[in-house]
Amino acid sequence: MTQAKGTVLIIGGGQAGAETAVELRKLGHDGRILIVGEEPFLPYKRPPLSKAYLAGDCTETQLYMMQAANLEKAGIEYHGGVPVTRIDRAAHTVERADGTQLRYDKLVLATGGRARPLPVPGADKPNVFLLRTIADVQKIRAHCQPGKRVAIVGGGFIGLEAAAVLVKKGLAVTVLEGLPRVLARVTCPQVSAFFERVHRQAGVDLRTGVQVAGFDGDAEVKRVCLSDGSTIETDFVVVGIGLIPNTELAASAGLAVDNGIVVDEYTRTADPDIYAAGDCTHHPSRFLGRYVRLESVQNAMEQGRAAARNIMGRQEPYQMVPWFWSDQYDLKLQMVGISSGYDQLVLRGDPATQRHFAVFYLKNGRIIAADTVSRPQEFMLAKKLVAENATVDPARLADETLPLKTLVG
């Protein structure tokens, strides 16, 4: 095994960057490891931001992937609060916003993404919040008193998770989704309808197919204006409409960017000393047979570990079957594979009447993806079926008297 000598510099203090650093140490890298982050906080877990941290059920320190003392013990330096502004590939240096320069032997771009702002008049008012960072959630939490009204723009994972937390806290929650159904980009109509029903039963005023035209109010937003002319009174707004990958540094360094930072299956850019991992990468997926950019913590962590292995000279292709999860109320949604392009849907259980079920997506008779709600065992088995693109008789798959276990080879 060739050891990567010298300094590995990681741009980005999210989970991809921190996981790369940790894995490098586990594999025995004995040179300097430096993470340079834009945020002042130590590398932290983002998934709880829209769940436990928004609910106030965990502290900022509990979000940290490693506590400061453990980072120090592992010999991982974290420099937060000052963004990198430039990469000089010829000199092997990066420059930070305060003018300081740092040298690297290997560079990892784990720059992640930023929350997409809503491009409408009034979206810059001080009571309109994005939800991507600890700082964002701290601002939202300061507004979360029971009885307050919140308008959440976006019926994706972030918007729905936030809605579940805030309605439980006693706020009056309105969710505004532009498409005809929630979670439209990631799941089938039956699962969307299930979550719409669950949120409405919990007291959320959920509206689909509505366009936000702008926000009205003087110093602060007082009402949301929809394109049909109607308005919704609100005390504050949370926007969860997706992510923009942070690719600017890579692009200005002359590296290929196409939807994300382009890497090969070894997580390398075209520059042999520069790797990339996480939400910011556009990478080849053997499982999907195409390039993909994934916004998920599983990809961030696994690709980070793959980058570390390849920096250590292991020449191991990055291969994973994408999977995702979302906690809303007492429900756990777990998804594996990418369902777009399916030609047959098989249900185990009935989303219209039950609070636990599984949905399998088939294409040409093969299982390409599955969603499960509060069926952890079936999720674990589905992961295997999806990874193998298994062929299973749809009638047997739908038959709940047959345990799924008996269908897994």
Partner 1 sequence: MPTLKFIEASGQTHVVEAVVGQSVMEAATGHLVPGIVGECGGCCACATCHVYVEEPWCGQLDPPDEMERGMLDGTPGVTARSRLSCQIKVSAALDGLVLRIPAAS
Residues lying near partner 1 in the complex (CB under 8 A) are found at: 22, 25-26, 45, 47-48, 51, 62, 65-67, 70, 73-74, 297-298, 301-302, 323, 325, 327, 332, 334, 374-381, 383, 405
Q: What's the distance, Cα to Cα, between the start and end of the chain in Å?
A: 35
How is residue 404 annotated by DSSP? G
Q: Are strands 261-262 and 281-285 parallel, antiparallel or unpaired?
A: parallel
Residue 43 or 351 with smaller CB distance to partner 1: 43
Nearer CB in complex with partner 1: 92/132: 132
Q: How far is CA 301 from CA 277, 298, 312, in A?
A: 8, 5, 17
In the complex, least distance from residue 127 CB atom to partner 1, rounded to whole angstroms = 29
* Residue closer to partner 1 (CB basis): 161 or 177: 161
Please, what is the minimum distance in Å from the beta carbon of residue 223 to partner 1? 36
Cβ-based nearer residue to partner 1, 70 or 340: 70
Could you tell me the smallest distance in angstroms from the CB atom of residue 301 to partner 1?
A: 6
| Least distance to partner 1, CB of residue 277, Å | 14
Q: How far is 382 from 335, CA to CA, in rounded Å?
A: 9
Pick the closer one to partner 1 by CB: 12 or 122.
Answer: 12
Q: How far is the CB of 369 from partner 1 (least distance, A)?
A: 17
SS3 for 338-400 is: CCCCCCEEEEECCCCCCCCEEEEEEECCEEEEEEEECCHHHHHHHHHHHHCCCECCHHHHHCC
Q: Name the strand (E) or helix (H) holding 165.
A: helix 157-168
Cβ at position 218, least distance to partner 1 in Å: 41
* Least CB distance to partner 1 at residue 137 (A): 15
Name the token pair of 163. 């809605």
- Least distance (Å) between residue 298 CB and partner 1: 5
Q: What is the DSSP letter of 335?
A: E
Nearer to partner 1, 281 or 334 (CB): 334
The 8-class DSSP code of residue 313 comes to: T
Nearer to partner 1, 67 or 315 (CB): 67
Instruction: Determine the 3-state secondary structure of 112 from DSSP.
Output: coil
The 3-state DSSP class for residue 130 equals: strand
Give the residue among 194, 192, 183, 161 at the shortest CA–CA distance from 349. Answer: 194
Which residue number, 223 or 283, has a Cβ lying nearer to partner 1? 283
Q: Which of 368, 340, 361, 360 is nearest to 400 (CA)?
A: 360
